[in-house]
Amino acid sequence: MFRGAKVIPITAPEIEDGALLIQHGKIVAVGARRAISAPAGAEIIEAQGKVIMPGLVDTHSHIGSVEGGDSSAPIQPEARALDSVNVRDSRLQKAQAGGITTVNIMPGSGHLLSGQTIYLKLRDKNTVEELALRNADGSIAGGIKMANGTNSRRAPPFPGTRAKSAALLREQLIKAVEYRDKIRKAAGDPEKMPARDLGMEALVEVLDGKRIVHFHTHRHDDILSVLRLQKEFGFRVVLHHVSDAWMVADEIAKAGAPCSLILIDSPGGKLEAKDNRFISGAALERAGVLAAFHTDDGVTDSRLFLRMAALAVRAGMSRQKALEALTIAGARMLDLDARIGSLEPGKDADFVILSGDPLSVYTKVLETWVEGVKVFDRTIATDRLYAVGGYGAGRPGEFYVDEEWLQ
């Protein structure tokens, strides 16, 4: 049991002198310190002067050296992030050092559709399967990555214009509708079934709402193009980046589309993001849109994820909605809010211990816990290296022999 800290449950009021009781990887109780008794034999951790909040949810990341489709075609739904994530990439540990416990790892956005994403818990494990979150049927959880705007506009076979980009996506979705119709008409008769097509299978999951579309889009007109396609085909969508969200917040709200924002506080990037504003979070909040933040690591560093909320509050977003945007809002976008995103009994014991308020530039992540297991501790030298080191921190720089292993 952790006691004495300020506890921020997210879905309930903040508790100044709080307690968090965990057991077997789950949250058992959260509340005022005086109201929660530790069971016999429980380990008591005094946390006065610290802040405990849920583990952060990054709805859009590229850690793990993830890859998706190649240059052979602009639409490749059969490509899976699952088959390319390197769980020994030091950026996973750096994300832990930033308080991130759950990530949506996405292939890149140089395609109209670059492949299937994967939702991971940042456990300290050996294989990607051991990090992967699962659906109720045991399958690996993830969405699908689509994009429009300048990224996917290239030489043939890629589209050269925005209109052609939308046309190619529409054409592929119509093929998926036809493929699904053939399967339904076959009614299980193998003689009538269409030839198996892995890409079409993934798109049918999109059409049936089983796989969420995570759509990279920046400019206001590109955002509306996505909403047009979503209305036509009825798929579930999360708009990612949405640099011009503040321009079309009402249209986004009318479509009921959640937004995953990135707020960059330094110059550079692409031309279509030139109108990115810190006010997007506040504008979406006023319009009633579900909004979360993401890192797009390595566009921004996972270790600085808390900064997103601080910048949004500075521009008018409420403290409550900004903290939700780091946690429960992202969990909802990934269909994981029954398990993560807030400190509530029955949920996974994913949480972060901070040195101070989460919106303060002086605050440090002290510890990160995933399912009741500590995966980052700033007092440990190797962990601290991941928290403060520059490029390449955590990668062996010279040949060495692990004497303990030899024994």
Tokens matching residue 375: 């995966």
Q: Would you say residue 312 lies in a domain?
A: yes
pTM: 0.95
* Structural contact between residues 42 and 86, judged by C-beta atoms closer than 8 angstroms: no
Alpha helices in 111-263 (DSSP H): 128-131, 162-186, 198-207, 220-233, 249-255
Q: CATH number, domain at 309?
A: 3.20.20.140
Contact 60, 295 (CB under 8 A): yes
Query: What does the buried/exposed string (b/e) look like for 137-146 if buried means 16 or more CB atoms within 10 Å of the residue's CB?
Result: eeebbbbbbb
The answer to whether position 400 is within a domain reads no
Give me the mean pLDDT over the 157-172 stretch: 97
Domain assignment present for 238: yes
Number of domains in the chain: 1
322 domain residue, yes or no: yes
Summarize pLDDT for 175-229 with one digit per residue, the tens: 999 999 999 999 999 999 999 999 999 999 999 999 999 999 999 999 999 999 9
Q: State what percent of residues in the chain have pLDDT above 70.
A: 96
Residue 93: which H helix or E strand, with range? Answer: helix 90-97
Per the listing, tokens 């976008």 go with 333
Q: Note down the domain range covering 229.
A: 55-340
Domain assignment present for residue 115? The answer is yes
Helix axes 306-314, 280-287, angle to 10 degrees: 80
Which residue carries 């190797």 as its tokens? 382
Predicted confidence (pLDDT) at residue 399 exceeds the cutoff of 60? no
**pLDDT tens-digit map of 101-114:** 999 999 988 999 99
CA distance 19 to 17: 7
C-alpha to C-alpha distance for 152 and 277, rounded to whole angstroms: 23
For residue 74, whether the previous peptide bond is cis, meaning omega lies within 30 degrees of 0, is no
- Give the DSSP per-residue string, 75-88: B-TT-BGGGT--TT
Asked if the structure places residue 273 within a domain, the reply is yes
Taking only the tens place, the pLDDT of each residue in 19-78 is: 999 999 999 999 999 999 999 999 999 999 999 999 999 999 999 999 999 999 999 999
Closest of 18, 48, 21 to residue 356, by C-alpha:
48
Domain assignment of residue 264, yes or no:
yes
Q: What is the DSSP letter of 114?
A: E
Q: Quick one: tokens of 104?
A: 């949506």
Residue 362 within a domain: no
Cα 238 to Cα 31: distance, rounded to the nearest angstrom = 33
- Phi/psi of residue 145, each to 5°? -100, 120
